Structure 1
Amino acid sequence: MKWGGGGYVTGLIYHPTSANVMYARTDIGGAYRWNNSNGSWTPITDGIGFNAGEGSFHGVESIALDPANDNKVYLVTGMYSHNWDGTPINGRIYASGDRGASWTHYDLPFPVGGNEDARAIGERLKADPTNPSTLFYASRTAGLWKSTNSGQTWTQTGLSSKVLTAAEIQGLGTAPVGVEQIVFDNSNVGGGATTWIMYAAIAPDYVQKAGLSSTMYKSTNGGFSWTPVPVPSNVSGYFVPHMLRTSDGNYYVVFNKNAGQGAQGPGYLYRFGGVTNGETWAQLATTTQGGYGGVSVYGTGATARIALAVTGTWSAGQPVVQLSDNGGATWREIADGMQHWGGGYRGWVDDIEIDPANKDHIMHVHGGGVWETWNASAASPSWDVPLNNFEETATLALVTPPAGAPYKFVNSAGDIGTWVQTDLAATPTRAPTSAWSNGNAADVLWSDPTYIVSAGALNGSPAVSFGSWSGDGGNTWSNFATLPAGASANTAESASIATAFRNNAIWAPANSVPSYTTNNGASWTSTNLPALSAVGINRGYRLAVDRKNPNKVYAYDSGGASWSNLAGKVYVSTDGGHNFALSQGSVSANLAPNGWNATSLAVNPNVEGDLWLADGNAVYHSTNSGASWTKLNGFATIAANGSTGQMQGASVIALGKAQAGASYPAAVYVVGAMNGVWGVYHSDDGGATWARFNDDAHQYGGIGVMAADWNSYGRIYFSGVGRGLVYTN
């Protein structure tokens, strides 16, 4: 599906000597390489090395490029530095010698937080410019680390040996920021010698825990030992989101009072002389409207062009991108009022880059992707969206309509809400709301797919649930006038909604007893389904309407979690979803307990009572409305490759148009592990035989949701980890 961005791009990285080589990193959607020849992005973390069951490694915290070899790129990955109890989660480093076409990875001895606060900080991973097999990593919880063999093994530097404990991490009350970055005092490239002098910026949380005396330190012996560097008193205790060195030996250092994306200020930009220029400080800019995020410099001295990203400003008339063409002596705003943000997070302008080959080409990140101008020198520069093939939305639910419907599918996604897709090559325009929201679930009326129901939540503090219906294929929408029991208190994604007749809906909010309406939400009545007991994570019922006999509605309780010891159960209604009875056959089947995101229920719209279920471990088929279930052979949960995680035996199931002449009236697709190999599998004969549908180069870190097309045999739509919606024929 074409959306264009939709997620937080946390950094843009140009190669220091090959300006046409550029990469972008994201917080949950992996990394991309820019294709300068056609103005598009190539995803580089979809395949081999980024295996299924390892979606956490689609959170990229930092990228480093070998300055002596523009084919070599490193990624440090891991979404979260710690569990809920503060227990550290170590990350990985990936290395590629062919610009991301293939990868080798190594486990790291320190945690990584690619989707935590302050994730747009300047690159934590740096390669020594003259000896690029030497890498340094500024970690969140364990100080500054060094590798002398391209990331294969690591040791702590002499900056500090302090490793934050789980209790200390919890005590911070927010994500640790730690050592923020280092910059080498060296403009040379290659040669094999060591760069001895370098500066490190350190966040105040680690300064305090490690007993350090400044937020900046210097090493003159390649990182073996470090001495404090005094910073200006007005920025003492501030964070340093970005810092860079220009060829004249000067450093440009951004200070901000607060950490994190869209952090408020005050912010300051200083020029620091470094060892070349006497280590003096000169203030160049300050703001009390928002804070400062990124900085980029083209040229040197009094004629240097400096682009400064202002973060945390949300209203017209506030600074967004400040530009100086005289080394910081004067500034002008070049982005406010240009109306180029669309639905993105204007306030998350946390990295900015001037094209090293063209000073009029400036790009900045934000919460919805990337924006750029090609005429930065103009009095009023124009801005555009360089997001072709860059997709970072997170789909939570997906439903396809019957053949001949006036749209392709309904996509319920995190942050961007619910959308009706009519053209796969164009960004959708039909939605219940364009506000910042989560779409949790949707369904279409099989007998009349112009009737659509959806459930979601407006994001904010707190989030606010809402449900909507459309009677004209998504062109116009009306909100349900009231909410069912449980919806106000439960806005989580483990929710389901179904429609059996026009003006009728059954809504199962997370952690709640489902309710039904017969009047488009003017009133709701609770069903007789049992309440769900707590299991430590959100749970919910999955609802599905029998498309041949809509009086039959099925509700699947997956048990909530693998540790719950609550076997999965299926309930059946014969009065349109008002009252349900337990399927004793599902009890006899002994369905595995698993979480919402590891389970699935699908109905064959061509045959009454024909159901398919994935309980996280295996596939089950019922031909009698759930009275009895047959477990299919071959699917079983396995350990993820090189990981402590696991790949579910069967987590998603979808049905679509049958192959011409097939013995079964639907094609069946399953995401799972069959005979020890994870993949997408399909069957044309009702599960008698299976063939793998994808290959190892197309794993996307795992697949969260999937739906099959009823117009075209072989077409499926699915979500990778933070990779939007992908389709294949």
Structure 2
Amino acid sequence: MNRKHSLVLPALFAALLAGCSGGNSTQGTSSPVATAGPVMAATVGSATAYTSVKWGGGGYVTGLIYHPTSYNVMYARTDIGGAYRWNGGGSWTPITDGIGFNAGESTFHGVESIALDPTNDNKVYLVTGMYSHDWQGTPINGRIYVSSDRGNSFTHYDLPFPVGGNENARAVGERLQLDPTNPSTMFYASRTAGLWKSTNSGQTWTQTGLSSKVLSASEIQGLGNAPVGVEQIMLDNSNVGGGATTWIMYAAIAPDYVQKAGLTSTLYKSVNGGATWTPVSVPANVAGYYVPHAVRTSDGNYYIAFNKTVGQGAGGPGYLYRFGGVTFGETWTQLATTTQGGYGGVSVYGNGSTARIALAVTGTWSSGQPVVQLSDNGGASWREIADGMTHWGGGYRGWVDDIEIDPTNKDHIMHIHGGGVWETWNASAASPSWDAPVNNLEETATLALVTPPAGASYKFVNSAGDIGTWVQTDLAATPTKAPTSAWSNGNAADVLWSDSTYIVSAGVINSTGGAFGSWSGDGGNSWSNFATLPAGASSNTAESASIVTPYRNNAIWAPANSVPSYTTNNGASWTSTNLPALSAVGINRGYRLVVDRRNPNKVYAYDSGGASWATAGKVYVSTDGGHNFTLSQGSVSANLAPNAWYATSLAVNPNVEGDLWLADGNTVYHSTNSGASWTKLSGFATIAGNGSTGQLQGASVIALGKAQTGSSYSAAVYVVGARNGVWGVYHSDDGGATWARFNDDAHQYGGIGVMAADWSTYGRIYFSGTGRGLIYTN
């Protein structure tokens, strides 16, 4: 169950398919941009504040990393949402939103490992990259980011090996280790290319003598596109500083790489700083097992978790062993085992027979099964401290894949899971209490967003991966109104403009893969599922979907890769529209639908072509409430660039009938006559990504919101794209005559996926960063 892959592939495709981006479109039949009232001064101004909308966690935190000597310094890494610095008091600061994590580089928001310099608690290293390979097995090399101010700013170096922060077994590690006495020397346990070493703080790297094997594309595919490789390195040294080299170290190696590289054990030792390696025998009952986590204590013992399978929520059996290392003659002592789930993480406080050991049990889903096992006598006996407690706000119980005991307070224990972080401050109690310390840790992935008219009882409807569709009434509080609280993807939603209490949504239950649609007639307080599904919905559940409502009880639903259908009876029955079938282009595509808010008999359908190598985009117009459509010949004349569904957008001005805005991936078009003709705006154009193999779309998202008081156009227009060679969010207050950049380089979030503007507050937009939930401005 590799939860986040589908949610970030669009951004990855944008980078991988860079060489195929659509070319510049040409001017088609056009009409002048509409204005109302006197022409004002050029558009100026930008966002002055950026704040996360409250959800609270929501995504898979894959590791917690304490500084080895300054224990108040801690970081969390996530699979798609970057990294966070711990503030204490349950609060976090995101550190990968800005400069260095630029637009078009969303893949570097997947953090596979973090290491902290033991001699300098300001210095932090992040190894990033979501995927170690593309869908054909071709390697994708990662980056190492370096900060000397606890993540306030970064520089980065390109790595010569792939990184897979959103792949299977992404909580394994830590893969990056710094020599504690000489931290400019570091090692990286890679998924596909063995063990690497740097002697200049990550600027350059060479393979160690462990193995020179680099997995080929076919070998990666033969492993199910899920290589684990070398899992971690353990340096036999607890000293800090001094400049000496740590010579003795152990490497834990996954069975997949052991087999491909012709190795003979899953554990190897070096006594010469990684130059050469020899196998170390592991206990027979864990031969061929994975090592998700290991920890060395100051007395020279290692506590190593073994698991038969690997990955988030991996099943067991699992074993915990104490390994004596060179200090104790490399002896093995079994301390624990489980057949209910497997072991995900281990943390130790103290040494020997009085050591407190916390074990994260992963892959258990039901009450009565272990979650966190605790020993206060070095592993001689164990008790459960999490199952049955006030612990689970729903979701991902079985992904307990890392755990940390606070080095300053053994009663403070934190563990990760698929929805964030949980902690207890009274672990010694008979029944410890748990809470979720996730303030400002927002790692949801929004797929669609719609704002209601001014005066509505809610701010927006958020359709997101994994957490589903929610109606947000308070930006500072977790929402409570949703069609379902089950683990689901919300793919699309719409609100009725004439009565915002009527909402429609479309999604999929992730545990079963079953599609469903829902409607609410009371602003999201209660919901009913559509009794039936339209053609294509059950078999096409990808997020390239759209649903709109022109009237109460009416909806038009465009499932991915499908002809849209309409209902006039809240889904009791569906009828296919006459829109053309969509040909396959190799990636998911779909129609984008919008309703004319001034005349809901008019519904517009935009086919972006589906991919940059496909046919030109087209717009279709319905005048009977979305039942029948006619091709806009003006859109054909405009020669809209073909682009992927996720790189395009269509928006309507609710204040003027027939007033449409379109972003075709390359530039912006405006129609004032219901799509009969289109004006191409100048200045927007696709450019090469800075320091990236990808490209930055010239115009990928467009949204309209409340107009500035006294402006010459009845809506503020916001566009995500590249204008005059600079990517950003741009806004116009005069109907596109002039533009100003609305964001800045410190607020790029690896790119922006969706955006909507507020109709009650001028200057407020809501948008999604890469795996960063929703952010709002001003």
2:75 match: 23
Q: For 2:479 and 2:631, locate their aligned partners in 1 and report how far apart those are by CA, in whole Å.
A: 40
The superposition leaves residues 152-183 of structure 1 with CA deviations (integer Å, 9 ceiling, x where unpaired) of: 11000000000000010111124100000001
Which position in structure 2 is the counterpart of 1:201? 252
Determine which of 677, 686, 689 is the counterpart of 2:735.
Answer: 686
Q: Distance in 2 between matches of 1:496 and 1:210?
A: 47
Q: Report which structure shows greater RCO (CA 8 Å, sep ≥6).
A: 2
> For 1:367 and 1:235, how far apart are their aligned partners in 2?
26
Q: 2:543 aligns with which of 493, 502, 505?
A: 493
User: What residue number does 2:277 align with?
Assistant: 226
Residue 32 of structure 2 corresponds to none
The structure 1 residue matched to 2:598, chosen from 532, 536, 548, is 548
- Aligned position for 2:310: 259
Q: Secondary structure at the match of 2:411?
A: coil
1:318-329 to 2 correspondence within 5 Å? 318-329=369-380
Give me the whole-angstrom Cα distance separating, in 1, the residues matched to 2:337 and 2:172: 19
Q: Are 1:522 and 2:581 matched, yes or no?
A: no
Q: Which amino acid in the other structure matches residue 728 of structure 2? A: G
Alignment of 1:19-58 (within 5 A): 19-36=71-88, 38-58=89-109
Q: Who is 2:641 aligned against?
A: 592
What residue is the counterpart of 1:244 in the other structure?
295
User: Quick check: 1:7 aligned with 2:56?
Assistant: no
Q: Of residues 715, 734, 744 in structure 2, which corresponds to 1:695? A: 744
DSSP-derived class of the 1:372 partner: strand
| Structure-1 separation of matches of 2:613 and 2:431 | 58
Q: What letter corresponds to residue 693 of structure 1 in structure 2?
A: F
Q: Deviations over 1:381-430 (max 9, x none)?
A: 00001000000000000000000001000000000000000011100000
Q: 2:390–2:433: 8 Å Cα contact kept in structure 1?
A: no
Alignment equivalent of 2:124, drawn from 73, 84, 92: 73
Cα distance in structure 2, aligned partners of 1:408 and 1:340: 29
Alignment deviations for residues 212-235 of structure 1 (CA, whole Å, 9 cap, x no partner): 000000000000000000000000
Give the structure-1-normalised TM-score. 0.99
Deviation of 1:574 (Å): 0.3
Q: How many residues are paired up? A: 726
| 1: CA distance, partners of 2:310 / 2:730 | 44
CA RMSD of aligned residues (A): 0.6
Q: 1:122, 1:294 within 8 Å by CA — same for their partners in 2?
A: no
Partner SS, residue 688 of structure 1: coil
CA distance in 1, matches of 2:624, 2:550: 10
**AA paired with 2:401?**
D
Distance of 1:669 and 1:2 partners within structure 2: 23
Between the aligned partners of 1:640 and 1:35, the Cα distance in structure 2 is 33
Q: What corresponds to 2:232 in structure 1?
A: 181
Matches within 5 A, 1:28-177: 28-36=80-88, 38-177=89-228
Partners of 2:552 and 2:535 in 1: CA distance: 21
SS in structure 2 of the partner of residue 107 of structure 1: strand
SS at match of 1:361: strand
1:700 counterpart SS class:
coil
Match runs of 1:537-686 below 5 Å: 537-564=587-614, 566-686=615-735
State how far apart, in whole Å, the 2-side matches of 1:518 and 1:344 are. 35
Q: Distance in 2 between matches of 1:104 and 1:128?
A: 21
Contact 1:537–1:560, Cα closer than 8 Å, also in 2: yes
CA distance in 2, matches of 1:445, 1:558: 25
User: C-alpha displacement at 1:339, in angstroms?
Assistant: 3.5
Superposed counterparts of 1:282-297, under 5 Å? 282-297=333-348
C-alpha distance in structure 2 between counterparts of 1:233 and 1:277, whole Å:
20
Query: How far, CA to CA, are the matches of 2:389 and 2:649 in structure 1?
Result: 45
| CA distances 1:71-110 after superposition (whole Å, capped 9, x unpaired) | 0000000001111111111111100000000000111111
Answering whether residue 745 of structure 2 is matched by residue 706 of structure 1, we say no
**One-letter amino acid of the counterpart of residue 679, structure 2:** T
Letter of the 1:17 counterpart: T
Q: Distance in 2 between matches of 1:80 and 1:356?
A: 33
SS in 2 for 1:208: helix
334, 347, 350: which one pairs with 2:401?
350
Deviations 1:485-515 (A, max 9, x none): 0001100000000000000000000000000
3-state SS of paired residue (1:169): helix
Give the one of 398, 421, 438 matched to 2:472. 421
Instruction: For 2:698 and 2:409, locate their aligned partners in 1 and report how far apart those are by CA, in whole Å.
Output: 51
4+ long deviations beyond 2 Å: none
2:481 partner letter: R
How far apart in 1 are the matches of 2:296 and 2:402?
Answer: 16
Separation in structure 2 between the aligned mates of residue 144 and residue 33 of structure 1, nearest angstrom? 28
Query: How far off its partner does 1:258 sit?
Result: 0.2
Unmatched tracts of structure 2, length 5 or more? 1-52
What do residues 653-683 of structure 1 show as CA deviations (whole Å, max 9, x unaligned)?
A: 0000000000000000000000111100000
Counterparts in 2 of 1:447-526, with a 5 A limit? 447-461=498-512, 463-526=513-576
The alignment partner of 2:609 has SS state of coil
**One-letter amino acid of the structure 2 residue matched with residue 704 of structure 1:** G
Secondary structure of the residue that 1:359 maps to in structure 2? strand
> Are the aligned partners of 1:635 and 1:673 in contact in 2 as well (CA < 8 Å)?
yes
- C-alpha displacement at 1:343, in angstroms? 2.1
Residue 721 of structure 1 corresponds to 770
Q: After superposition, give the CA deviation of every residue in 1:105-131 in whole Å (9 maximum; x if it has no partner).
A: 111111111001100002000110000
Aligned partners of 1:339 and 1:304: how far apart in 2? Answer: 26
Q: Is the 8 A contact 1:112 1:140 kept in 2?
A: yes
Contact map agreement 1:372 1:383 (CA 8 A) in 2: yes
Query: What SS does the corresponding residue of 2:643 show, helix, strand or coil?
Result: coil
Please report how far the alpha carbon of residue 540 of structure 1 lies from its aligned counterpart in structure 2 after TM superposition. Answer: 0.2
The alignment partner of 1:360 has SS state of strand
Find the aligned partners of 1:118 and 1:520 in 2 and give their Cα distance.
Answer: 43
Percent of aligned positions that are identical: 88
Letter in 1 for 2:74: M
Give 1:271 shift: 0.2
* Structure 1 residues without counterparts, runs of 5 or longer: none
1:130 is paired with a residue whose SS is coil
Q: Secondary structure at the match of 1:377?
A: coil
Instruction: Deviation per CA, 1:450-485: give whole Å up to 9, x if none.
Output: 000000111125x11000000000000000000000
User: Would the aligned equivalents of 2:131 and 2:163 in 1 still touch at CA under 8 Å?
Assistant: yes
Structure 1 SS opposite 2:304: strand
C-alpha contact (below 8 Å) 2:137/2:225 kept by paired residues: no
Cα distance in structure 1, aligned partners of 2:283 and 2:225: 26
Partner Cα separation in structure 2 for residue 516 and residue 235 of structure 1: 57
Match of 2:6 in 1: none
Residue-by-residue CA offset, 1:14-47 (whole Å, 9 max, x unaligned): 00000000000000000000012x4310000000
Matched residue type, 2:745:
D
Match of 1:136, SS state, is strand
Secondary structure of 1:69's counterpart equals coil
* Counterparts of 2:237 and 2:473, CA distance in 1: 53
The letter for the 2-side match of 1:703 is I
Q: Is the 8 A contact 1:143 1:161 kept in 2?
A: yes
Looking at structure 2, the residues matched to 376 and 501 of structure 1 have their Cα atoms a distance apart, in angstroms, of 55
Distance 2:108 2:469 in 1: 27
8 Å contact from structure 1 (residues 6, 344) kept in 2:
no
Counterpart contact for 1:344–1:369, Cα < 8 Å: no
Output the CA distance in 2 between the equivalents of 1:143 and 1:7.
Answer: 29
